[in-house]
Amino acid sequence: MKLVVQRVSEANVEVDNEIVGEIEEGLMVLVGFGINDGTEQADYLAKKLLKLRIFPDDNGRMNLSVKDINGKLLLIPQFTLYASTKKNRPSFHKALHPDKATELFDYFVDKCSESIGVETGSFGAFMNVSLLNNGPVTILLEKE
């Protein structure tokens, strides 16, 4: 499982010219699942994501989590994180099958929602994602 985590001042996701998810200060997270991923990886990364201290404290040091600042998450399903680029045309054979990935994405959203406000993109839809990256701060989290 892979997460691309971006600290944002604001972010939203559109499907068919309609905003389906929107947050102010928080984390916009691209979420990808590999063929061997399951609830163990989702549990681990949900906990890690919510405790990740990448927001500045009063001294300007990255010392606060998204929960500490009362921020929100915008979770975007992103199977292309598992692209194999050995050739010029990416292959996605390492990505989890969409049926299983949809279930695991929903599970991950539920786990994160236990502690914080969560908005999402739409699994399998063509999405336009807009964000104002704060910093910029971008972190890659993985659990194989």
Given pLDDT bands bounded at 50, 70 and 90, which one contains residue 86?
confident
CA distance 109 to 102: 11
What pLDDT is attached to residue 84?
85
User: Is the pLDDT score of 91 beyond 90?
Assistant: no
Full domain range(s) for residue 85: 2-142
Domain count across the chain: 1
* Degrees, nearest 5: CA angle 53-56-62: 45
CA distance 120 to 106: 10
CATH code of the domain covering residue 66: 3.50.80.10
What pLDDT is attached to residue 23?
98
- Active centre residues (catalytic): 80
Per-residue pLDDT tens over the stretch 7-42: 999 999 999 999 999 999 999 999 999 999 999 999
Give the CA distances from residue 35 to residues 1, 41, 92, 96, in Å, rounded to whole numbers and listed in that order. 9, 12, 10, 4
Per-residue pLDDT tens over the stretch 45-70: 999 999 999 999 999 999 999 999 99
Cis peptide, bond prior to residue 136, ω within 30 of zero: yes
Task: Specify whether the CB–CB gap between 48 and 93 falls below 8 A.
Answer: no
User: Is the pLDDT score of 74 beyond 90?
Assistant: yes
User: Is the pLDDT score of 144 beyond 90?
Assistant: no
CA distance 25 to 11: 8
Residue among 33, 14, 42 nearest 107 (CA): 42
